[in-house]
Chain A
Amino acid sequence: MSILEVRNLTKKFGGLTANQDVSMTVEKNSITAVIGPNGAGKTTFFNMITGVYQPTSGIILLENEKINGLQPHDVSKKGISRTFQNIRLFNEMSVLENVLVGMHINLKAGLLGILLNLPAIRKEEKASEMKAYNLLEYVGLADSLNEKACNLSYGAQRRLEIARALAANPKVLLLDEPAAGMNPKETKNLTQLIQSMKHEFNLTVILIEHDMKLVMEISEHIVVLDHGEKIAEGKPENIRNNPKVVEAYLGSGAIQTG
């Protein structure tokens, strides 16, 4: 069953076409990878799905409901959460508070309730703190809960972004280059984390990644973009040997298999 579907998505920045007629379907509870050389339009594609950019044309459907035209915060309410290629944490806030912000859409507290410190609000707050801590344990950051986010190591910051995105309880999670800047050991842990996440939280994961080893290992479906156009899609083994894909990558020499 498909959970996310895009049809003929096009995005133009003035004269530059960043995405051209991209269509794809994402199966529920699967891991899909979007790959392609630098500047292929992968991040732009994510930005359209999450409402950061409005598509020039095309449709985005989440569970058969049109979501393009929505503001980013409304998209997140529909159940799409994400991380960023250039890490975007709330740097001066503590690690736990970062995750708490991720829970924003699930909290019911209103102005008056907060002012009067109603028991229901206190309970909700306490429960969310515990859940946030739980998520930190899950990604291995429980020890640094009171640390400022900007003081974490690079790999830890990436994991914190994932915990924050999970806090929203999303249906679909978009990861933009989650392994960028990680060492092999961290990448291995991340691979396990993504796989475990999918089961634990009943998630559909779409990820952009340049690390082909990771991509081939975890994705069930791969979509290849080049110059904004989809040039191939399919199972990892088919993509690996697809001549078009090899050609797209040859110029940049970025292909690494094995």
Chain B
Amino acid sequence: MRRLKTLWKKYEQNKLAHGIFLLIYIGVTSLSLYTAQKSVTAFLLLLTSLLLLYFTKFTNLTKWLIAGFVLVFLLPFTASNGDAYQSYMEVSTLVGIYIAMALGLNIVVGMAGLLDLGFVAFFAVGAYTYGIFATAQASNFMPFGTFPLSGESFWLFIIIGGLVAALFGILLGIPVLRVKGDYLAIVTLGFGEIIRIIFNNLDRPINITNGAMGISSVTPPRLFGIDFLYPSQFYYIVLVLLFFTIFTVRRFEHSKIGRSWKAVRENEIAAQAMGVPLVRTKLMAFAIGATFSGMMGVVFAAKQAFVDPTSFTLLESITILVMVVLGGMGSVPGVILGAAVMTILNLQVLTEMTNWLNQLSLSGIISIPYALSPAKMQRFIFGALLILFALYRPKGLLPAKNRIFIEKDLQGANRKAKLVTPQEQSENEKL
């Protein structure tokens, strides 16, 4: 037993061992994904390699390079051999979309401490922005121009969608920032519902959103004459945007802006006394958080080729919030993991399990009473898992950590005389 422990310690210290283990792990999982016709397990295990990678002791650059290799080449390539290729890519694409949204919400809720229950509204704004202009819908109210716009405009719309969502973030922020805490949650919830209901009813007097019918046949994105039609293609768009999102969020987190978000979260009065403008700081959190959501909304509209209000319900907002809380409020790696786990659980694990149980009961091996039908159990298991997490990991899967400063790097500025000597200080501690 002790030997095992020392062996484990040694392993923990050893970068090479990590490398070898990771290599074997990735090799085995990707090979099994490549050879197996339909193996969700292999697919999920290969994705898990990214989590293992996170825990290794490699430098950040190495980690990014390996993650990039797995996501850009290995995963799509090894999955491409089986029948389920497009469904794997569909899941991966959705995982990416949700991660970006959760990271956006994390700025608002996790960093700035503003509870937002209507976050999906910004996703909707992005989706409708592209949906309206990439179909004939826009010609109902635009006095000039021919619609639908071509698929090449999609790339521009990613930016426009982000900006429009940011604008809505500010519009929401202005009235909302007068209220605090629970009231803020209620007002944002209202905002989310209002946006959805507006989209649902904006088919009269001028038909802008086509109401509850939704907008269909959204023009697919086009690049160098190639139309983007399949999940395996959208996967790459999402991947690029996701890298951009993570990169941006990381930059902000450890900057003057990120610190002022956290300061406002921790103590508004003290933050103001230190010169942090409350309203501006909160608006910035709303706007930047909304931007990522809006961008992904554009991608979502293009991917589905269809937009309707039912994709943007309160349940959707809550799901994103759960991703943030489950992963760890304010923790970027945590939120990424939380969003990935939630999406995969919802789309793959629980559905697979339901299918499996259904098959068993159909073939008469087990009999499940109607009240406990697997389709119903799915929600139940999901809820039970959330409660377990809340009980045993109240701070999330990967709780937020403060940046660690290396003392040596900070020493050597022109020193002021030390007033409290270390000796005196330790005496103080004793008293």
Interface residues of A (CB under 8 A from B): 50, 52, 71-73, 76-77, 81-82, 84, 88-94, 96-97, 100-102, 104-105, 107, 109, 111, 114-115, 117, 121, 125, 127, 129-134, 137-140, 142-143, 145-146, 148, 153, 155, 164-165, 167-168, 183, 185-186, 189, 192-193, 196, 200
Contacts and interface: CB of A to CB of B under 8 A. Distances in A.
A139 B419 contact: yes
Given A104-B256, A133-B410, A137-B416, A84 B425 contact: no
Interface residues of B, number: 50
Given A104-B276, A115-B248, A142 B266 contact: no
Mostly, the A contact residues are: helix
6 contacts: A71-B277, A73-B273, A81-B274, A91-B267, A93-B402, A104-B274
A161 B131 CA distance: 52
B246 interface: no
A81 B270 CA distance: 10
Contact of A130 (B263, B413, B416): B413
B5 interface: no
Given A72-B273, A153-B429, A185-B428, A88 B415 contact: no
B420 A139 contact: yes
Mostly, the B contact residues are: helix
Closest 4 CB pairs of A and B: A140-B420, A105-B275, A133-B410, A90-B266
A101 B413 contact: no
A137 B425 CA distance: 12
Given A133-B411, A137-B418, A92 B259 contact: no
Contact of A138 (B263, B270, B416, B425): B416
A88 B267 contact: yes
In this complex, which of B276, B402, B419 has the most chain A Cβ atoms within 10 angstroms of its Cβ?
B419
A140 B425 contact: yes
A121 B252 CA distance: 12
A130 B428 CA distance: 26
Contacts of A97: 259, 262, 402-403
A101 to B, nearest CB: 5
Contacts of A50: 273
Contact of A92 (B251, B252, B266, B271): B266
Contact of A189 (B262, B403, B416, B424): B424
Contacts of B267: 88-91
Contact of A93 (B262, B284, B410, B429): B262
A183 B427 CA distance: 12
B177 to A, nearest CB: 14
Interface string B234-276: 0000000000000010011001110110110111011111111
B262 A168 contact: no
B430 to A, nearest CB: 9
